[in-house]
Chains A and B, each alone.
Chain A
Amino acid sequence: MKKILVVDDSETIRQELSRTLGQAGFTILEARDGVEGLATATKNPDLALLVLDVNMPVMNGLDMLERLRENPLTVSMPVLLMTTEAEDQLIERAKKAGAKGWFIKPVKPEMLLMAVNKLAR
């Protein structure tokens, strides 16, 4: 089964994503912020996709994305940002760092599944 890492400081959002993606047959790993997310990603080089919130305490999703690109173990992992942010500069920063997509919350389950199936490796 393909593994997906969900990184969001909201436990509710993590549970919702895990439920939706788990029912679709994915194995879900969870982290609460960018630091936990980086540690989990490094230990799981076979991740098919990372779904990252942007506005999180400790380390935000964009900083985490850029840190992923500095590590040979995680440099090529596909990343989908899922956030309330719609700022052009942030979207461009994610694109420059090699993200695959940018989703603006709230996200309907069918849209999430469509995106994950398209972007997961």
Chain B
Amino acid sequence: MFIERSETTRAIQALAAAACTELMQAYGVQLNPTLGWADSDQVMFSGVMGFVGDSVRGTCLLAAAQGTVEAAAPKGASARDWVGELSNQLVGRLKAKLMARGATIAVSTPVVLRGVRVSPLPRTDVEPVVFESTAGKVLVWLEVEIDDGFQLGEVRPLKASEGELIVF
């Protein structure tokens, strides 16, 4: 049996939000929580990735205006390519946070969407998290299901974290 509205589900969504803040900061964009999603004719880019594990499964969406994506991108990057890479790195960070708490997931490769006035329609009462930056808004939307009774464990250290090298 899968449940969608639990403290654990909310905790996982909070981990995704934290992962997004850390990721964008690593690329020079400072995010602050805010309310309300973009309501303009700006072109938006979204990266969508699925993940699945023994006890946790779901989908993660990262969305931002083209200008926000470009603010976090290396010089000359295309927004389409970079939002896919950011989504990949976001889910990678979420995976590491889950793994440190005892949950292992496998991830898909990202699907990238482009559009105007695209709005999330959550199927649960857990709303997507919206951040603002000087470059524009960023949205993280996690639809997650967990096994009945599953709980995140105590945080344990991993072999390595972002930016670190392991030499064999």
> A residues within 8 Å of B by Cβ?
9-13, 15-16, 55-57, 83-89, 91, 94-95, 99-108, 111, 114-115, 118-119
Contact = CB atoms under 8 A, between A and B. Distances in A.
A106 B168 contact: no
Interface of B: 26-27, 73-74, 76-78, 81-82, 84-85, 88-89, 91-93, 95-96, 99, 104, 107, 109, 158-168
B74 A12 contact: yes
A13 B84 CA distance: 11
A109 to B, nearest CB: 10
A86 B92 contact: yes
Given A86-B99, A102-B160, A111-B163, A15 B74 contact: yes
A104 B164 CA distance: 6
Given A12-B76, A88-B158, A106-B89, 10 more contacts: A11-B77, A12-B73, A16-B74, A84-B93, A86-B92, A86-B95, A86-B161, A106-B27, A114-B165, A118-B167
14 contacts: A12-B73, A12-B82, A15-B74, A16-B74, A55-B88, A85-B95, A86-B99, A86-B159, A87-B95, A101-B168, A103-B164, A104-B161, A111-B165, A115-B165
A93 B97 CA distance: 20
B92 A83 contact: yes
A12 B167 contact: no
Nearest to B93: A84
A118 to B, nearest CB: 7
A66 B117 CA distance: 45
Sorted nearest first, the 7 A-B pairs with minimum C-beta distance are: A84-B92, A12-B77, A10-B85, A102-B166, A86-B96, A101-B167, A84-B89
A56 B107 CA distance: 11
Contacts of B164: 103-104
Contacts of B92: 55, 83-86, 105
B159 A88 contact: yes
Interface centre among A100, A104, A107, A108 (most CB of B within 10 A): A104
A81 B99 CA distance: 19
A115 B167 CA distance: 9
Contacts of B91: 84
Nearest to B49: A55
A51 to B, nearest CB: 12
A88 B104 CA distance: 10
Contacts of A56: 109
